[in-house]
Structure 1
Amino acid sequence: MDDQNKNLILAVALSFLVILIWFVVFPPPEPEATLDNASLEAPLEAPVPSTASAPQASAPGQTAQGTTAPVDTDIQNAPRVAIETPSLSGTISLIGGRIDDLSLKQYKTSIEPGAEIVTMLAPVGSAEPYYALYGWAPSAGIAPDQVPGAFTEWTLTQGETLGPDSPITLQWDNGAGLLFERVIAVDEDFMFSVTQSVRNNTEAAVSLAPYGVLARHGQPADAKNFFILHEGAIRFADDELTETDWDDFADDGSRDRVDVTEAGWTGFTDHYWQSVLIPPAQATAKLETFLEPNRGIYQTSATLGTQTVAPGASSSVTTQLFAGAKEWETIRAYQNAGVAKFIDSIDWGWFFFLTKPIFWLLHELNKLIGNMGWAIIGLTLIIKAVLFPLAYKSYVSMAKMKELQPEMEKLKERAGDDRQKLQQEMMELYKREKVNPAAGCLPILLQIPIFFSLYKVIFVTIELRQASWLGPFRDLSTPDPTSLINLFGLLPFDSPEPGSILALIFIGILPLILGISMWLQQKLNPAPTDPTQQMIFAWMPWVFMFMLGGFASGLVIYWIANNVITFSQQYIIMRSQGYTPDILGNIRGSFRSKGKDDA
């Protein structure tokens, strides 16, 4: 077996091994069971952060004001204030002033006609309660019933509908000399600003700390639980990013706590959506993340430093709440506006130094072309252009090695069974002719991290969600929707469910084109003489064809484009070096060989 074929087989085997490990060793687990409705009957007690200056959460059924909490039906029937922006719709409950009803107007749950818009936050009593709460943690000298909490009944004093140019104001008087006010504003995208203030009308100074809490009852039903994607809690604190998967929460109720002195934020992230509490920059804050184990309520909170308010004085603090889609441009704009490292809330992975520039380039191409499928092909052209100098050397080396084939055969005859002598003479031949036998596999090896980085980008970023290309390809983040069953998209029938046995058998048009392109690329070179090599080369395109049938169609488009460009480059370069591959002859030879084997 000559070194050229050894290197090529090694490179192909490494690619195959990595993909095989991906699906065999790390299969996506089944989604976790969600919390049933029976466990949600008891209302959430006021989730006051457990700090040195804050009281412990009240017992079930008790509010922070010490009176019986409203039952779930009362929370659902509480007065509400409408939210209406270009991006959001929903309501705010006057019980607790909680932001607990929010939908994303620009996103549908599927590409099917009549699909509902995506639900971001949901109130207690719904299938998956998920909401934001705000309040004040009392310090010494203030009773728990003198501060607003999860079940405080606020009064709307200003505004009717919350919109980009129309904030609302809520008030609550504790009846003991403290007047609390909350002003909520929202921009045209997904950012809320919440200003909490207190006026001290008593004759003594009071100390208390403002906080915000995100509470989520159970894990989301649509959680992917896939190793390539982080879902769960996410936190940034003074240049350190922490990700906690749903299964990694401590089940004993212990709190993951960190103090922030410069900049930080904390929240929950899903595949395409996230909610994040953002304290003001340069403010001291305590960030906590924990699971309340009895009822499976996940919580993350941001508590600011204790405010001491003198008699007749007032104090206020403004925090932000992001609740929406993880759009790259939108999140980058918020980062430029002062939210530190907010772009890292998108899961770029360990190879962020590749995924970030790849996504940026893909995003810019999509803006220029207006079609994500063609943008992926354009990205492939650029990547191949960047790697062209290395590819040129590789293909020149392959052409020279083809010219050396007769001389190498003579060396094998002279060496006989002396493998050491053969290797020495072959190395001398390579050195004399200035041929690098390892050059042929380098472009293939470089494609592996680029391939996985692009897969990460296509799988994680919302810009690829429901992005169309042409014809039946209306969502490049999902597998090929065509198959033989619907005549590759010509008939109005659904393809087999991805992952099913039928989907493995009746593959789509893109995986089929991929297999053919790999097969044709092999025919640039004469078939190897070794039977083992022949078998590997014969099966490899079709194995990859079936394996990649379940990948996102956007990634298969990239691989097809890469194969076509590689085929063209290699053919042109090898011809320029005086070696003209007999492609048709190789194809005919492979069929003749196949016929002999069958006979």
Structure 2
Amino acid sequence: MDDQNKNMLLAFALSLLVLVTWMWFFPPPEPPVRTAETEQTDSVALPPEATSGGAVTADQVAETAAPRVTIETPSLRGTISLDGGRLDDLSLTTYRETLDEDSDIVHLFSPVGGARTPFYAIYGWRPRGALEFENVPGPNTRWEQVGDNTLTVDTPVVLEWDNGAGLVFTQTYEVDAKYMFHITQSVTNNGDARVEMDPYGIVARHGVPADLSNFFILHEGMIQMADGTLTEDDYSVMEEYRRVDREAAPAQITEAAQDGWIGFTDKYWMATLIGMPGDAVTAVSKFVPGANIYQTEIRQPVVAIEPGATVEADSMLFAGAKEWSTIRGYENNLGIESFLNAIDWGWFFFLTKPIFAVLYWINGYIGNMGWSIVALTLLIKSVLLPLAWKSYVSMAKMKELQPEMAAIKERAGDDKQKLQKEMIDLYKTKKVNPAAGCLPILMQIPIFFSLYKVIFVTIELRHAPWIGWVRDLSAPDPSSLYNLFGLLPWDAPEPTSFLALIFIGLMPIVLGTSMWLQMKLNPAPADKTQAMIFGWMPWVFMFVLGGFASGLVLYWITNNIITFSQQYLIMRLNGHKPDLFGNMTSGMRRKKGDATK
């Protein structure tokens, strides 16, 4: 086998191996199986280091029927329970669970005792010195609202609790038009003795979320930034926080000198406690084994409140969708360090970040993510054209040398050493690099994976339509051979079923065809076995990529069409006339006998 064929076979084999391996280890997600361990528990998250009196049951919550404060903003809808001052009911008004117009809007926070897995935020104070937990607000404290207004972008909400022993606590909630809450906790000391305590905020999740993706390429779980260091622990890792003392709540504690945030991230949504930029905070991630609660905390420094004095503590809470522009705006305008890293950019972050930034910029002009992917592909191919030019010229020369290479192979017979020497001499004489043809394929692999990551994790691609039947670029092509693309009166197979892998959609078929056309421009292997492998390669890729997100398939189709056009034109400009359904003929006259030299 000559070097050129070896390199081509190696490149295609490696590409196929990567894709097959990817699908094997990262198959489409299946709904997680709910077990007794993942079912919601009836306890409320404990305040930091509370030893007693910190929990209430779901039955108690239902019986007391605590009043609630309404939240209404352009992006959020929900309520705050006056029991504990818990922000435990929050929905995202601009997002739906499915493409169905009648689908329910996305629920982020849910209360204990509700139909969904409990997920909520709660704020309070930890007592120091002679103070006891009953002297400070906790999860079962009944707050009172000052006034009766709704929490909106323009109207904050104030909650108040008097402990009856000289301390008056208030919580002031403010919210912007997106997903950022500003919480101010204050304490007024009306007593005659100095007191000490430290404020905290908690985001707690009871059990593993029901819609956990379980994808190795995607982080879901605890996320933390402390002084520029990003930490990501999934739920199973949090369960391993256990100390020798099983009774204590196992925790990971990180001191942030001036910038810190911590919380839980899902694929598209996030709830994060954020210290004020420049302030020192202690970030804590904890798993409470007995209650099956995953908990993140931000603890602020201890404060001393003299008699007659009032002390305030400010913090922020992000609770919403991980929109690139929104999170980037909070990072730049509020000074939240590295907040954009809340989006899981992956190992190729140096590619995924700029690729998405350019895609987002293009979409700002086009207004359609599908056509924006096409435009992005055109831009990438334009940038890589200088490198591709030499490669395509080399491939054209290699195809022209096919008759001479066949003649050398015939003369050498079984003498591999002679075959190799004459091939090398031929390459040197004609100034051809047989490995150059692999360059376009190798360049595409990191870009392919980076774009796969971008399409998979960014919410901007979720439910983003392209044309006609392609209504969600983050999902596989919904059309199917099974019903002749909708012409027959029955539904296509479910995307996760085995039949969907066989009866592929229209876009994968176009992909296979475009790949076949592109391969027809490449030098054909002299060996019949190799030729057969290369002949089947486009159709194998067609089925392998058929289950990928349609946005990624659209990129691959566009890339193939552009590559084919570039290669075809470059070959014509260099005097070669490709014949897609026959043999290559040269537009240049050869001297008689050149093919046998």
Which stretch shifts more, 522-531 or 285-294? 522-531
When normalised by structure 2's length, the TM-score is: 0.93
Correspondences of 1:208-287 after superposition (within 5 Å): 208-251=197-240, 252=242, 253-287=249-283
Conserved 8 A contact 1:81-1:162: yes
**1:549 equivalent in structure 2:** 546
Q: Supply the distance in 1 between the matched residues of 2:18 and 2:444 (Cα, whole angstroms).
A: 12
Conserved 8 A contact 1:232-1:244: yes
Residue 14 of structure 1 aligns with an amino acid whose one-letter code is L
Question: What is the DSSP-based 3-state SS (H/G/I as helix, E as strand, rest coil) of the residue aligned with 2:107?
Answer: strand
Cα distance, 1:157 vs structure 2? 0.7
Out of 398, 401, 406, the position equivalent to 1:401 is 398
- Residue 351 (1) aligns with residue 340 (2): no
- Residue 63 (1) aligns with residue 51 (2): no
Which stretch shifts more, 448-457 or 431-440? 431-440
Q: Supply the distance in 2 between the matched residues of 1:76 and 1:381 (Cα, whole angstroms).
A: 62
Conserved 8 A contact 1:76-1:124: no
User: CA offsets per residue over residues 455-502 of structure 1, 9 Å max, x none?
Assistant: 000000000000000111100100110012443245685421113121
Cα distance, 1:26 vs structure 2? 4.2
Rate the CA distance shift 1:14–1:38 in 2: closer, same or farther, 3 A: closer
When normalised by structure 1's length, the TM-score is: 0.92
Residue 177 of structure 1 aligns with an amino acid whose one-letter code is G
- Residue 124 (1) aligns with residue 112 (2): yes
Question: What is the DSSP-based 3-state SS (H/G/I as helix, E as strand, rest coil) of the residue aligned with 1:135?
Answer: strand
User: CA offsets per residue over residues 125-150 of structure 1, 9 Å max, x none?
Assistant: 12211000000000111011000011
**2:412 equivalent in structure 1:** 415
Cα distance, 1:35 vs structure 2? 6.0
Q: Supply the distance in 1 between the matched residues of 2:18 and 2:427 (Cα, whole angstroms).
A: 31
**1:176 equivalent in structure 2:** 165
Question: What is the DSSP-based 3-state SS (H/G/I as helix, E as strand, rest coil) of the residue aligned with 2:419?
Answer: helix
Cα distance, 1:534 vs structure 2? 1.8
**2:594 equivalent in structure 1:** none
Rate the CA distance shift 1:233–1:106 in 2: closer, same or farther, 3 A: same
Structure 2 residues not aligned, in runs of 5+: 243-248, 585-597
- Residue 108 (1) aligns with residue 99 (2): no
Cα distance, 1:204 vs structure 2? 1.4
Out of 80, 97, 122, the position equivalent to 2:68 is 80
Cα distance, 1:406 vs structure 2? 3.1
Conserved 8 A contact 1:34-1:218: no
Q: Supply the distance in 2 between the matched residues of 1:249 and 1:195 (Cα, whole angstroms).
A: 29
Out of 57, 77, 85, the position equivalent to 1:89 is 77
Which stretch shifts more, 196-205 or 33-42? 33-42
Conserved 8 A contact 1:34-1:219: no
**1:594 equivalent in structure 2:** none
Q: Supply the distance in 2 between the matched residues of 1:288 and 1:414 (Cα, whole angstroms).
A: 74
Cα distance, 1:280 vs structure 2? 1.2
Out of 454, 462, 466, the position equivalent to 1:465 is 462
Cα distance, 1:36 vs structure 2? 5.0
**2:4 equivalent in structure 1:** 4
Q: Supply the distance in 1 between the matched residues of 2:39 and 2:411 (Cα, whole angstroms).
A: 81
Q: Supply the distance in 2 between the matched residues of 1:229 and 1:245 (Cα, whole angstroms).
A: 10
Rate the CA distance shift 1:153–1:582 in 2: closer, same or farther, 3 A: same
Q: Supply the distance in 2 between the matched residues of 1:296 and 1:408 (Cα, whole angstroms).
A: 69
Conserved 8 A contact 1:285-1:303: yes
Residue 54 of structure 2 aligns with an amino acid whose one-letter code is T
**2:297 equivalent in structure 1:** 301
Residue 217 of structure 2 aligns with an amino acid whose one-letter code is I
Q: Supply the distance in 1 between the matched residues of 2:17 and 2:57 (Cα, whole angstroms).
A: 58
Q: Supply the distance in 2 between the matched residues of 1:41 and 1:391 (Cα, whole angstroms).
A: 59
Out of 427, 430, 438, the position equivalent to 1:430 is 427
Rate the CA distance shift 1:350–1:389 in 2: closer, same or farther, 3 A: same
Conserved 8 A contact 1:28-1:227: no
Cα distance, 1:365 vs structure 2? 1.3
Question: What is the DSSP-based 3-state SS (H/G/I as helix, E as strand, rest coil) of the residue aligned with 1:334?
Answer: helix
What root-mean-square deviation, in Å, do the aligned CA atoms of Structure 1 and Structure 2 show? 2.0
Residue 393 of structure 1 aligns with an amino acid whose one-letter code is K
**1:593 equivalent in structure 2:** none
What is the percentage of aligned positions where both structures have the same residue? 58
Rate the CA distance shift 1:390–1:559 in 2: closer, same or farther, 3 A: same
Conserved 8 A contact 1:384-1:562: yes
Q: Supply the distance in 2 between the matched residues of 1:515 and 1:250 (Cα, whole angstroms).
A: 45
Correspondences of 1:409-558 after superposition (within 5 Å): 409-489=406-486, 494-525=491-522, 527-558=524-555
Rate the CA distance shift 1:201–1:217 in 2: closer, same or farther, 3 A: same
Q: Supply the distance in 1 between the matched residues of 2:577 and 2:476 (Cα, whole angstroms).
A: 37
Out of 155, 162, 166, the position equivalent to 1:166 is 155
Conserved 8 A contact 1:100-1:131: yes
Question: What is the DSSP-based 3-state SS (H/G/I as helix, E as strand, rest coil) of the residue aligned with 1:152?
Answer: coil
Rate the CA distance shift 1:476–1:39 in 2: closer, same or farther, 3 A: closer
**1:592 equivalent in structure 2:** none
Residue 176 of structure 1 aligns with an amino acid whose one-letter code is A
Q: Supply the distance in 1 between the matched residues of 2:233 and 2:413 (Cα, whole angstroms).
A: 61
Cα distance, 1:557 vs structure 2? 0.6
Rate the CA distance shift 1:482–1:516 in 2: closer, same or farther, 3 A: same
Rate the CA distance shift 1:119–1:29 in 2: closer, same or farther, 3 A: closer
Q: Supply the distance in 2 between the matched residues of 1:49 and 1:208 (Cα, whole angstroms).
A: 12
Q: Supply the distance in 1 between the matched residues of 2:86 and 2:440 (Cα, whole angstroms).
A: 55
- Residue 23 (1) aligns with residue 19 (2): no
Residue 126 of structure 2 aligns with an amino acid whose one-letter code is A
- Residue 292 (1) aligns with residue 249 (2): no
Residue 74 of structure 1 aligns with an amino acid whose one-letter code is A
Rate the CA distance shift 1:260–1:525 in 2: closer, same or farther, 3 A: closer
Cα distance, 1:69 vs structure 2? 6.7
Residue 173 of structure 1 aligns with an amino acid whose one-letter code is D
User: CA offsets per residue over residues 356-403 of structure 1, 9 Å max, x none?
Assistant: 011011111111111111111111111111111111100101111223
Question: What is the DSSP-based 3-state SS (H/G/I as helix, E as strand, rest coil) of the residue aligned with 2:434?
Answer: coil
User: CA offsets per residue over residues 219-269 of structure 1, 9 Å max, x none?
Assistant: 111110001111111000011000111222134342111011110100000
Out of 127, 130, 140, the position equivalent to 1:151 is 140
Cα distance, 1:43 vs structure 2? 2.6
Residue 219 of structure 2 aligns with an amino acid whose one-letter code is H
Q: Supply the distance in 2 between the matched residues of 1:32 and 1:405 (Cα, whole angstroms).
A: 55
Question: What is the DSSP-based 3-state SS (H/G/I as helix, E as strand, rest coil) of the residue aligned with 2:414?
Answer: coil
**1:585 equivalent in structure 2:** 582
Residue 578 of structure 1 aligns with an amino acid whose one-letter code is G
Conserved 8 A contact 1:84-1:163: yes
Conserved 8 A contact 1:76-1:125: no
Conserved 8 A contact 1:200-1:309: yes
**2:46 equivalent in structure 1:** 47
Residue 138 of structure 1 aligns with an amino acid whose one-letter code is P
Cα distance, 1:81 vs structure 2? 0.5
Q: Supply the distance in 2 between the matched residues of 1:214 and 1:492 (Cα, whole angstroms).
A: 49
Rate the CA distance shift 1:437–1:263 in 2: closer, same or farther, 3 A: same
Rate the CA distance shift 1:247–1:63 in 2: closer, same or farther, 3 A: closer
Rate the CA distance shift 1:566–1:421 in 2: closer, same or farther, 3 A: same
